[in-house]
Structure 1
Amino acid sequence: MPDLGTCYSQPKLPSTNYFAIEVEGQSISDIVAERQQQLAAITAEISSIQAVRSSIKNLEWQLVRQKNRIIRSINLHNRLRSALWRLPTEIISHIFQLCLPDVPSPNVFQLCLPDVSRPHILQPPSQLTAPMLLTEICQRWREVAVGVLTLWRRLSVTVNDHHWQRAAFCYDTFLKRSQGLPLSLTLQCSRNHSTKLQSLLLPYINQISSLSINFPWVQGVDQPELLLKDLPALQELTIGHNNEDISRFFSRLPSTVRRLSFPGTWFGPMLPSYLTSVQWAHLTNIEFYVDEQNTLFRLLRLCPNLSSLTTAMVSHESQALRPFTHTKLQFLIFRGSVAFNNPLSGVFSTLSLPNLRRFYGWSSSTWPHEEFKEFLTRPKCPLEKLFVSTGSGIMTAEQRAECAAIVRSSRVSRSQAS
């Protein structure tokens, strides 16, 4: 480092005009010129050091990049030693299908038991479960998961007033990956949310084949019937809760719907006032709980093509009914009364199902065995399976044997007929 001190840099100078001072042998102009030369030399040295440092930094970046490539290569070849990473894409795709969260499906035996919780909704998407989780393991798994379109067919949508735009973007990204396949959706809808849901689903209305709409027990849901507008591919519809809005759905029920379910909703004598055969003639599968026997028979008359019925009844007394035959019903799940009198005896005495193949029944009161035997044998139905669970009135061994004989007889008759 050169010495930059001069006579002019002394702490004290004579109190004369500085511009007039010039010490012998030390011209100010010469000093300035010398300093400029020194500054140029230092600047050049700094530039050289910066160039070297940039070159080292670039070399370091290249070495780090090469290191990462080597690590990836090591990981790749280590994975290749595992059978999992040698699996064909088709097998991985099948495994991914098995990783999807189980969709709660009603067990026929549970259906015959009281107070059994049967979820009718899908689980909301989560980064902790498939298919979202599968896209975050590695690049190959992400490519495979995104390419398996059936992983993106089932979605539960919950609307809230916080961060809806971000949530809607995620839902839309999820649905786009289905690429036109039929969709099964569950909608958690509260007040003032129908319009938001309709906007979200608009690009996918031609794909929605199964729809479950769940309302909380709140008042003032805005135009819930909008959710059924223009759904040309809808085949399965489940509507839960909020009895006040049920009737508003009937006017919008698409003619394409074949399966209709109202879990947790009970329909009383007012049922005939807002149902017509035109709306219900196309239905083949129904879950429908009624308060009275007349309502049940009204429902059967409205649905001449019904093949499967899940129903329950809480009537407090049996009613005088005219005999009725339904020729298409094959699968019947019947829960009896929680009251003192059993309405099933009246139903069994008047209802004929000549094509009944499977019956699952439950009753909290004494099982009307004689009427039930008549119910099974009157039309000589081709019965394949029979399950009866009773509450206070347990079936005797003799009664069970009689029912088993009816089933065996039905199978023999069916075999001979074929």
Structure 2
Amino acid sequence: MRSCGRPLSLAIHWSPNGADKLQRLLQPFTTQISSLTLVSFAEKSFAPQLSFEDLSALQDLTLYWSKVLRDNETDLAQSLSRLPCTLRSLKLRGLVFKPFKWLSTCNGLAQLTHLEITVTLLHELFYLLCLCPNLSSLEISLMFGGAAIQHLEPFTHTNLQSLSFNCRDTVRDPSPDLFDALTLPNLHVLEASYVGVPPHEELQALLARSNCPLECLIFVGVKITDEQRAEYLTFIPSLDIQCCKGKQVTLCHSWMRIFTNICHL
């Protein structure tokens, strides 16, 4: 009641069995909630009766599982297929599922400008990019097995400005195929997280082909040689190249801030 009609930002810890209670909690504020974070510690998906389309002012939606959720996507797909047209940022953290089963029915992707998601097949990432033409920022985790990567047709995304991807949980590094097929003419920031050696030749070819205004290139978990650094600078002399160990501390602090203001259902 004290919100007086102003936009609301909520972070809620909930269980799938609390879907009805959650819906009742949100109902009086459907025209005010602009940011919603739902955190779950259960290895279950969202109940199908949880509808995000009723939140007519929602711009930022985060669904976070502390344990990786796999192979239980039916209920989640039903919820995600009903996204409001106001949504601009969608973050799916701790989720591993095949998006083809729900992307074809999802009505809220074309207007997204920021997306965080995990994919298990490289061509799914290209399908996502096709469905999200207005994306300016993408954080992608690549969790691939040992299966052969399908042939990828060349693809250009003209609006993507920031790309962050994590290859640390893959059996086979898919980034050479990714770099060979992508063209990103508006890319400003590229962050790549690796366990092995980054494919420098393919990455340099991507930068040359895209002719993009890249400002910052970040390698996470690996170091590059002075020679490799010099090769990147031949493409973009003003490029800021960084190497760091990881994001664990940053993410931990971020979620600690969320939990200090969290509600429990």
So what's the TM-score if we normalise by structure 1? 0.52
CA contact (8 A) 2:204 2:232 kept: yes
Give the match for residue 243 of structure 2: none
Q: Which has the larger radius of gyration?
A: 1
Question: Per-residue CA shift, 1:222-267, capped at 9, x if unaligned?
Answer: 44523x2411100001112354332122222111100001011123
Give the match for residue 181 of structure 2: 350
Equivalent of 1:363 in 176, 190, 194: 194
Residues 110-149 of structure 1 aligned to structure 2 (within 5 Å): none
Equivalent of 1:196 in 3, 13, 21: 21
Equivalent of 2:80 in 243, 246, 250: 250
Shift of 1:377: 1.4
Shift of 1:191: 3.8
Give the match for residue 127 of structure 2: 298
Change in 2 beyond 3 A, CA 1:307/1:375: same
Q: Which has the higher contact order (CA 8 A, sep 6+)?
A: 2
Change in 2 beyond 3 A, CA 1:218/1:273: closer
**SS where residue 279 of structure 1 aligns?**
coil
CA contact (8 A) 1:239 1:262 kept: yes
Change in 2 beyond 3 A, CA 1:390/1:188: closer
Change in 2 beyond 3 A, CA 1:328/1:220: closer
Residues 163-312 of structure 1 aligned to structure 2 (within 5 Å): 176-219=1-44, 222-226=47-51, 228-241=52-65, 242=69, 243-244=72-73, 245-268=75-98, 271-276=99-104, 278-312=107-141
2:44 and 2:124 map into 1 onto residues whose CA distance is 26
CA contact (8 A) 2:77 2:101 kept: no
Shift of 1:193: 1.6
CA contact (8 A) 1:360 1:388 kept: yes
Give the match for residue 224 of structure 2: 395
Change in 2 beyond 3 A, CA 1:405/1:180: farther
**SS where residue 193 of structure 1 aligns?**
helix
Change in 2 beyond 3 A, CA 1:185/1:272: same
Letter in 2 for 1:188: H
Question: Per-residue CA shift, 1:167-209, capped at 9, x if unaligned?
Answer: xxxxxxxxx2222221111122214322222222222111100
Tell me the C-alpha RMSD between the 2 structures. 2.2
Would you say how many aligned residue pairs link Structure 1 and Structure 2? 231
1:223 and 1:188 map into 2 onto residues whose CA distance is 18
Letter in 1 for 2:113: T
Residues 311-326 of structure 1 aligned to structure 2 (within 5 Å): 311-315=140-144, 316=146, 317-326=148-157
Change in 2 beyond 3 A, CA 1:206/1:340: closer
So what's the TM-score if we normalise by structure 2? 0.79
CA contact (8 A) 1:235 1:258 kept: yes
1:398 and 1:372 map into 2 onto residues whose CA distance is 15
CA contact (8 A) 1:360 1:386 kept: yes
- Please identify, of 195-204 and 346-355, the stretch whose mean Cα deviation from structure 2 is larger: 195-204
CA contact (8 A) 2:60 2:90 kept: yes
Letter in 2 for 1:231: L
Letter in 2 for 1:400: R
Say which structure is richer in strand.
2
2:150 and 2:168 map into 1 onto residues whose CA distance is 13
Letter in 2 for 1:308: S
Change in 2 beyond 3 A, CA 1:409/1:377: farther
